[in-house]
Amino acid sequence: MSQAKPYRVSHLDALEAESIFVMREVMAEFERPVLLFSGGKDSIVMLRLAEKAFAPARIPFPVMHVDTGHNFPEVLEYRDTRVATLGLNLVVASVQEAIDSGHVRELPDGTRNRIQTPVLLAAVEKYRFDALFGGARRDEEKARAKERMFSFRDEFGQWDPKNQRPELWSLYNGRHHPGESIRVFPLSNWTELDVWHYIAKEQIPLPSIYYAHDREVVERGGMFYAVNEFIRLKDGETSEVRRVRYRTVGDASQTAAVLSEADTVDKVIDEVAATRITERGATRGDDKVSEAAMEDRKREGYF
């Protein structure tokens, strides 16, 4: 078939089209979808895709923040502004409240990544959400690389990686019994670099901590943690002011910054393209626990 016109789309447009398709499938087939919004760059991109999928109508589902209580103030502020601008309904599932009410117990080391899961699952049960959009990407981690676009969870929110539904073409099977749910990952096929190219193309504003800024940090195991109410200096440690940016935004007590001079989106793209360390490897204390830390957390119902 020889065409006068090439009818080509760029890989970024193809990824966008796929994500929009997935979001519309969910809206058409589920009763109570919700979009998990952390204020991180992936969930911000996912929110933009939701805007585009249903325009000129509003985003037809609420967003939920599983709030560990360990937040970067810039990110909370961004979340609230964004939600207000888009006229969205925000559900906050608070880990702190769950601790205070005795629903979950604070871990001895004070980290809250793992105890997010029961809080998330309780909120899913309370609001009877049947589809949860997550911003996870397969390029992030080896267990995530195994995840389907539509990922089935049983009534305990558990993932069974050895027994996933076949997923052919773009025919997603979202059927489930009451109490079960589907996690949906519209960004499955995006890489960190794709996300940044898209942020540049769409001119999406981000919380300021994603760009290089001066910050008081302490170096631990080659990672640079902000010194603040969640991370205090231990004996023998000294802090210093360095120029840093965040590559991911997770729990503020466990997310590290990277040294960077990139104060614009184009400079970040250059840095991301040249980096030799993965996003999670450079920034997440929580993944270093064991070889299969992510798989284990996902089995329990983590994002």
Contacts of other proteins in 150-189 (CB under 8 A): 161-162, 164-171, 173, 175-177, 188-189
Which of 6, 236 has the CB closer to other proteins? 6
**Smallest separation, CB 75 to other proteins (Å):** 25
**Near other proteins by CB under 8 A: residue from 18, 42, 67, 130:** 18
Applying CB under 8 A, the span of 48-56, 66-74, 108-116, 230-238 interacting with other proteins comes to 48-56
Q: How many CA atoms lie within 13 A of 62 on its CB side?
A: 15
Which of 12, 76, 91, 99 is close enough to bind other proteins by CB under 8 A? Answer: 12
Site for other proteins in 242-261 (CB under 8 A): none
Residue 172 CB, shortest distance to other proteins, in Å, is: 8
Residue with tokens 């409240």: 97
Q: Give dist(CA 271, CA 275) in Å, integer.
A: 6
Task: Report the C-alpha gap between 176 and 124 in whole angstroms.
Answer: 14
The window from 69-77, 118-126, 256-264, 278-286 that contacts other proteins (CB under 8 A) reads: 278-286
- Provide the CA 276 distance to its chain's centre, in angstroms: 21
DSSP states of 1-53: ---SS-----HHHHHHHHHHHHHHHHHHH-SSEEEE--SSHHHHHHHHHHHHH
- Interface with other proteins in residues 104-143 (CB under 8 A): 138-139, 141-143
Closest by Cα among 291, 235, 293, 224 to 259: 224
Q: Are 212 and 67 in contact (CB under 8 A)?
A: no
Position among 56, 108, 221, 236 found at the interface with other proteins (CB under 8 A) = 56
Nearest to 279, CA basis, from 303, 246, 302: 246
Beta bridge partners of 16: none
Least CB distance to other proteins at residue 292 (A): 5
Q: Give the whole-angstrom CA distance, residue 10 versus residue 70.
A: 39
Q: How far is the CB of 79 from other proteins (least distance, A)?
A: 22
CB of 259 to other proteins, least distance (A): 15
Q: Out of 94, 228, 239, 275, point to the residue binding other proteins (CB under 8 A).
A: 275
Of the candidate residues 58, 126, 128, 220, the single one contacting other proteins (CB under 8 A): 58
289 binds other proteins (CB under 8 A): no
Helix count and strand count (H, E) for the chain: 9, 10
Span interacting with other proteins, options 37-45, 47-55, 68-76, 94-102, rule CB under 8 A: 47-55
